[in-house]
């Protein structure tokens, strides 16, 4: 019996991977640096899709952009529009389903990490300071104010005084999302114009840590005089990133660019203020004071979250309810809100022209978003789908 045209093409495509061999093929696929390219490759045939998923190329893309992704020990994903976790078993079939789940989640994460964004301040609230000289007048919450004066009073945080100039201090903030891509941190030391010589109470060096709390943080515990210094202890957190030390200059506003954009896993940032320079004349003690702090970057999709476990941290994925492919051009929320980044990504693939026509794009989206591969649809000379 003769072989159909579709079967011949499938056979040829499978032969391509067999001809190159798994090692050379893996090298070629790792050269794909964008999730859209990986999505197109996985849509070529069943064998290509299997190869992409089995070799975890979507996870490799994430690790290439942000090595901090290696901290995830497992993935939990809910079915679209429900809170039911996908079943994880020990059989070969269940293992393959888990691989497909991981591929889908890392594709979503890689798109979020690689999408263009305009940096904005990611701080949503303060967690606490290692010490405060006068609470609440000089609380850490003053560092969120964009101006130097609030209701005719100076707005700044001040540490407690120390005789040892090497005594460190820290400020800890909570971000808008469990996962935020951070590229820059701005700090403005406080200049005491009301003191002789207008001294600047800066630290000598600054270092940044990012991570997640080991236990949930209760709102009533945050920024309180009773818990001063307790919530800033490292025992309360798992830090997944630590920056190099940056020298602080004795001027007003400073910007610290990270060596590369860092994904903050868990939405907590600790600013370590190392060393003291300025002694207050009235009491002979060293202080560190800060007027403003901004942590700049991009909060990632709310569909992604993290949860600590005994063996590490879990990446959780709770997708929005699926919409019909026929409505890809209308992906806004019912309340008129903007579509998610992932849905924008899907729309761009749907609308892009690749020379294969709408049939190719329909198959791509079906494979990428809805599971098992579908047969590619072909166009005739009149543009009709057959």
Cα 113 to Cα 15: distance, rounded to the nearest angstrom: 34
Tens-digit pLDDT profile for residues 37-92: 999 988 888 888 999 999 999 999 999 999 999 999 999 998 654 444 444 455 77
pLDDT of 384: 42
pLDDT at 385 over 70: no
Interatomic CA distance for residues 53 and 312, integer angstroms: 23
Q: Sort 355 into a burial class: Cβ within 10 Å, 0-12 / 13-18 / 19+.
A: exposed
Residue 74 neighbours by CB distance under 10 Å: 15
Q: In terms of pTM, does the model score above 0.85?
A: no
Find out whether 238 and 155 touch, Cβ atoms under 8 Å: no
Q: Tell me which of 151-155, 281-285, 359-363 is least confident.
A: 359-363
| Parallel, antiparallel or unpaired: strands 268-276 and 203-213 | antiparallel
Residue 105 in contact with residue 317, Cβ under 8 Å?
yes
**HSE-up (13 A, CA, CB side) for residue 200:** 14
Find residue 257's DSSP bridge partners: 184
The sign of the CA dihedral 50, 54, 59, 64 is negative
Task: Determine whether 317 is exposed, middle or buried from the number of CB atoms within 10 Å of its CB (0-12, 13-18, 19+).
Answer: buried
Specify the pLDDT at position 34.
87
**Size (the chain), residues:** 386
Task: Please tell me the distance from the alpha carbon of residue 343 to that of residue 320, in angstroms, as a whole number.
Answer: 10
Q: What is the pLDDT of residue 380?
A: 43
Q: What is d(CA 316, CA 303) in angstroms, rounded to the nearest whole number?
A: 8
How does pLDDT run across 317-367, given as a tens digit for each residue? 998 765 433 333 333 444 444 444 544 554 454 444 444 444 444 444 444
- DSSP notation for 181-233: EEEEEEEEE-B-TTSTT--B--EEEEEEEEEEESSPPPGGGSS-STTTTTTTS
- Percent of the chain whose pLDDT exceeds 90: 57
């Amino acid at each position: 019996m003769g072989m159909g045209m579709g079967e011949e093409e499938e056979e040829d495509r499978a032969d391509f991977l067999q001809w190159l061999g798994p090692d050379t093929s893996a090298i070629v696929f790792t050269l794909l640096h964008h999730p859209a390219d990986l999505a197109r490759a996985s849509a070529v045939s069943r064998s290509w899709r299997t190869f992409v998923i089995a070799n975890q190329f979507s996870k490799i893309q994430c690790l290439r952009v942000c090595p901090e992704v290696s901290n995830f020990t497992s993935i939990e994903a809910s079915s679209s529009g429900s809170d039911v976790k996908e079943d994880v078993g020990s059989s070969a079939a269940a293992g393959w389903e888990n691989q497909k789940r991981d591929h889908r989640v890392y594709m979503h994460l890689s798109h979020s990490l690689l999408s263009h964004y305009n940096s904005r301040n990611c701080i949503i609230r303060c967690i606490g300071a290692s010490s405060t000289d006068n609470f609440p007048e000089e609380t850490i919450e003053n560092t969120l104010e964009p101006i130097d004066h609030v209701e005719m009073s100076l707005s700044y945080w001040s540490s407690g005084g120390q005789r040892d100039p090497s005594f460190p201090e820290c400020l800890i903030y909570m971000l808008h999302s469990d996962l935020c891509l951070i590229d820059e941190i701005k700090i403005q030391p406080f200049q005491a114009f009301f003191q002789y010589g207008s001294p600047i109470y800066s630290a000598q060096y600054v270092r940044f840590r990012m991570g997640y709390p080991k236990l949930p943080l209760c709102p009533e515990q945050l920024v309180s005089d009773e818990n001063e210094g307790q919530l800033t202890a490292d025992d309360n957190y798992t830090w997944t990133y630590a920056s190099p030390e940056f020298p602080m200059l004795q001027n007003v506003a400073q910007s610290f660019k990270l060596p590369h954009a860092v994904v903050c896993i868990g939405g907590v940032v600790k600013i370590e203020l190392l060393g003291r320079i300025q002694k207050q004349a009235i009491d002979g003690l060293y202080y560190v004071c800060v007027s403003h702090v901004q942590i700049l970057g991009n909060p990632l999709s709310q569909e992604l979250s993290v949860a600590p476990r005994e063996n590490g941290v879990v990446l959780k994925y709770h997708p929005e309810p699926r919409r019909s492919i026929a409505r890809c051009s209308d992906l806004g929320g019912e309340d008129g809100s903007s579509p998610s980044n992932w849905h924008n990504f899907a729309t761009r693939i749907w609308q892009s022209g690749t020379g294969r026509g709408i049939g190719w794009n329909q198959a791509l989206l079906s494979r990428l978003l809805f599971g098992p591969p579908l047969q590619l649809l072909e166009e005739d000379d009149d543009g009709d789908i057959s």
